[in-house]
């Protein structure tokens, strides 16, 4: 190929990318590449495959645009080193393609680099919403970005900008708040944190999701396919009841309550946005041209690219070619296939050849993908060769864990307190509840595996660790099941919890505290002078039965791998400043939207403040 429009002639054997001036203007680079690409290469650039379905050599052969590790899609032994080696191999393979355009490797780093063993797991977004602290959210995203960069990953499918209205939804914890304004402020901060001050040198592309309005889906309208493990949820109420369901708001309501976070994110520089499974008055989001093109791209001026969600286009039509054309014509620019990517590429080529997808729509989609890659420095030799050099030691480093501990404390909300808090520094404590010493339960879904799991699934510190750090191990006795005969103490700290869940698998009709957990609370009640109950959950639960038993009830949400931050609030090392980001129903009737005689829900902003009293530190932690 002769010298290109940038006046640079690639050395023999060089790819086009290796020949670009550093950095050439985006418009020139993008236009040149698009003019060079075959239709097959354009379709490939619009394709995202999951890591188990593609090899580096496949990338060299096809010029695929992206690879993702979905929830639990972890390479090798799941260590940071294994991640970095796998991602580097995929990127290297893509640079051997004819045009040498590197892939974007995408992950769900939604509360830290949460698939990676030993990474810092930050509180889920609902807990960050309880901090209402944009600077803290920005710092958390920046720390997550550095841990993500350390493994060579330059794209995270975060932040989720859902504004959850029905807390029975399994993705409530992925949103910041039921208040769209707060969700927008924190969403903006998250995008700024992911991108950093120099997108080329130390940025990770954010991916605000899922556009738009999913927080308003109606219970009972779930539309997604049922996953084989649906029977997980015996006893926890139905699953897959609202997720991927239908939104029935007017356009004015949709714009008023659910659009603001995306406006903030675009203004903050977001270059990728994920479409949503939710339908709007029965029309699926991935096929809604008005939302994805007229509203998002034309009215809001979004210049980046829209990526589809996992197999979402398959739901548009039984004919895959028709489905692909519907999604792309609506405004999807990259498709998370994620398995049979050859089929998708072939479908696009066929649909364009048949005149069902205009070539200029393809060129626009490819140009948007390439623009994002150019902005992050992948489309010139300097950028492509110089992936940010962030040490693997950053993953799970002490500084990030301290930040996560601070965030867990700041998001802890005291719902009620009859003078039990803060726990006196000379108190002896009986600690009970399955979640009091369980990292997996404190982290919830999207942790190491897609749905997460109980147990010591990664490294970190629990609520029990924090209590012992503050009060001394000799004075904090673990009685996990609350059945240690005769054990008494001045103070009892008992957790109640939800098991980890994800997406529609966490849709739950009944938000009562399970009977067996209430039994543990009652058992400890009889053996202590003051009782503190800590709720570890992705959403509000009905705590009325606890209010009659406990002297204090605290919402800790899903605090992450540094749950000792929750204990910091209980013992007064950190002030209690957390406030509700969602209204907290006081009865199942209120959850269901039925009138009742219970006290009204605790409103957004509720939280019993505890002073900034700082208990004497026994080990200097905190
Ligand atoms: C999931 C989620 C989306 C996630 C994607 C990749 O189904 O809806 O939030 O980013 O697939 O794991």
Contact 100, 385 (CB under 8 A): no
CA of 359 to the centre of ligand 1 (A): 28
Atom 8 in ligand 1: residue holding the nearest Cα: 309
- The percentage of residues in the chain with a pLDDT greater than 90, rounded to a whole number, is 86
Per the CB < 8 A criterion, the answer to whether 167 and 570 are in contact is no
DSSP letter string, 252-283: HHHIIIIIHHHHHHHHTT--EEEE-S-EETTE
Per the annotation, the verdict on 519 as an active-site residue is no
Best substitution site from 108, 159, 240 to test ligand 1's pocket, by max atoms within 8 Å of Cβ? Answer: 108
In a domain, 7, yes or no: no
Clarify whether residues 155 and 60 are in a common domain: yes
CA 271: distance to chain centroid? Answer: 17
pTM for the complete prediction? 0.94
- CATH number of domain containing 459: 3.40.50.1700
| Total count of domains within the chain | 2
Residue 597 lies in a domain: no
Supply the residue whose CA is at minimum distance from atom 3 of ligand 1: 309
Helix (H, G, I), strand (E, B) or coil at 336: strand
Alpha carbon of 175 to ligand 1 centroid (Å): 14
Residue carrying structure tokens 């990292």: 439
Q: Are residues 142 and 265 in the same domain?
A: yes
Q: Are strands 272-275 and 305-307 parallel, antiparallel or unpaired?
A: parallel
Tens of pLDDT, residue by residue over 94-118, are: 999 999 999 999 999 999 999 999 9
Report pLDDT digits (tens) over 183-218. Answer: 999 999 999 999 999 999 899 999 999 999 999 999
- pLDDT value at residue 70: 83
The answer, yes or no, to whether any atom of ligand 1 lies below 6 A from the CB of 243, is: no
| Same-domain status, 324 and 180 | yes
pLDDT at 381: 64
Judge whether 223 lies within some domain: no
Calculate how far, in angstroms, residue 49's C-alpha sits from the geometric centre of ligand 1. Answer: 13
Share of the chain above pLDDT 70, in %: 91
Domain span at residue 92 reads 17-162+171-212+259-386
Tell me: do 459 and 382 sit in the same domain.
no
The listed range with the strongest mean pLDDT (58-72, 287-301, 381-395) is 287-301
Owner of token pair 């909300």: 413
Please say if 503 is a catalytic residue. Answer: yes
- Is residue 426 assigned to a domain? yes
Rounded Cα gap, residues 414 and 579, in angstroms = 8
Mean pLDDT computed over every residue of the chain: 92
* Ligand 1 midpoint to CA 542 (Å): 29
Lowest mean pLDDT: which of 244-248, 269-273, 370-374, 607-611?
607-611
Is 562's pLDDT higher than 50?
yes
Contact 64, 54 (CB under 8 A): yes
pLDDT at 219: 96
Contact yes or no for 539/582 (Cβ under 8 A): yes
> Residues 323, 438: one domain?
no
pLDDT bin (cut points 50, 70, 90) of residue 17 is low
Task: Tell me the pLDDT tens digit for each residue of 248-298.
Answer: 999 999 999 999 999 999 999 999 999 999 999 999 999 999 999 999 999
Domain identity same for 379 and 448: no
Query: CA–CA distance from 124 to each of 44, 70, 112, 133 (Å)?
Result: 34, 17, 9, 14
């Amino acid at each position: 190929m002769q010298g290109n429009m940038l006046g640079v002639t690639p050395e023999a054997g060089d790819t086009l990318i290796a020949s670009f001036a550093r950095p050439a203007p985006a418009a020139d680079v993008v236009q040149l590449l698009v003019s060079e690409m075959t239709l097959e290469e354009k379709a490939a650039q619009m394709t995202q495959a999951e890591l188990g379905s593609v090899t580096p050599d496949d990338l060299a052969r096809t010029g695929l645009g992206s690879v993702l590790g979905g929830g639990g899609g972890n390479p090798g032994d799941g260590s940071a080193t294994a991640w970095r080696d796998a991602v580097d191999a995929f990127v290297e393979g893509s640079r051997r393609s004819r045009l040498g355009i590197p892939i974007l490797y995408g992950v769900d780093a939604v509360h830290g680099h949460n698939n990676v063993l030993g990474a810092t797991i930050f509180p889920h977004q609902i807990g960050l919403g309880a901090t209402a602290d944009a600077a803290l959210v920005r710092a958390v995203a920046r720390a997550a970005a550095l841990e993500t960069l350390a493994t060579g990953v330059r794209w995270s499918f975060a932040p989720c900008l859902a504004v959850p209205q029905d807390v029975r939804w399994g993705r409530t914890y992925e949103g910041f708040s039921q208040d769209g304004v707060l969700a927008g402020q924190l969403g903006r901060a998250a995008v700024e944190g992911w991108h950093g001050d120099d997108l080329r040198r130390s940025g990770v592309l954010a991916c605000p999701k899922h556009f738009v309005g999913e927080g308003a889906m109606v219970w009972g309208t779930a539309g997604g396919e049922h996953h084989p493990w649906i029977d997980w949820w015996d006893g926890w109420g139905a699953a897959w009841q609202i997720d991927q369901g239908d939104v029935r708001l007017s356009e004015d309501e949709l714009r008023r309550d659910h659009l603001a976070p995306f406006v903030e994110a675009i203004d903050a520089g977001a270059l990728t946005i994920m479409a949503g499974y939710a339908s709007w008055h029965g029309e699926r989001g991935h096929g809604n041209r008005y939302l994805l093109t007229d509203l998002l791209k034309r009215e809001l001026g979004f210049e980046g690219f829209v990526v589809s969600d996992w197999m979402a286009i398959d739901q548009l039509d039984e004919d895959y070619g028709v489905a692909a054309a519907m999604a792309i014509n609506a405004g999807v620019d990259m498709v998370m296939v994620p398995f049979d990517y050859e089929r998708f590429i072939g479908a696009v080529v066929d649909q364009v050849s048949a005149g069902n997808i205009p070539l200029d729509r393809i060129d626009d989609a490819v140009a948007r993908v390439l623009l994002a890659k150019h902005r992050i420095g992948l489309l010139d030799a300097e950028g492509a060769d110089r992936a940010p050099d962030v040490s693997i030691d950053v993953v799970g480093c002490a500084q990030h864990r301290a930040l996560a501990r601070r965030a867990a404390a700041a998001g802890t909300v005291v719902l009620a307190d009859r003078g039990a808090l803060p726990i006196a520094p000379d108190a002896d404590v009986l600690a009970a509840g399955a979640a009091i010493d369980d990292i997996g339960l404190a982290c919830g879904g999207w942790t190491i595996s897609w749905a997460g799991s109980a147990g010591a699934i990664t490294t970190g510190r629990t609520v029990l660790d924090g209590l012992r750090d503050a009060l001394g191990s000799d004075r904090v006795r673990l009685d996990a099941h609350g059945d240690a005969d005769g054990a008494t103490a001045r103070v009892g700290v008992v957790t109640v919890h939800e098991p980890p869940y994800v997406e529609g698998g966490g849709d739950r009709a009944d938000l009562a505290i399970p009977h067996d957990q209430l039994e543990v609370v009652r058992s400890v009640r009889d053996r202590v002078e003051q009782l503190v109950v800590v709720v570890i959950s992705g959403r509000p639960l009905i705590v009325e039965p606890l209010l009659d038993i406990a002297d204090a009830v605290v919402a800790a949400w899903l605090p992450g791998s540094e749950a000792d931050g929750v204990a910091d609030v209980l013992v007064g090392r950190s002030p209690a400043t957390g406030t509700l980001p969602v209204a907290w129903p006081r009865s199942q009737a209120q959850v269901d939207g039925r009138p009742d005689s219970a006290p009204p829900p605790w409103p957004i902003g509720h939280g019993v403040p505890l002073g900034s009293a700082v208990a004497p530190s026994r080990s200097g932690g905190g």
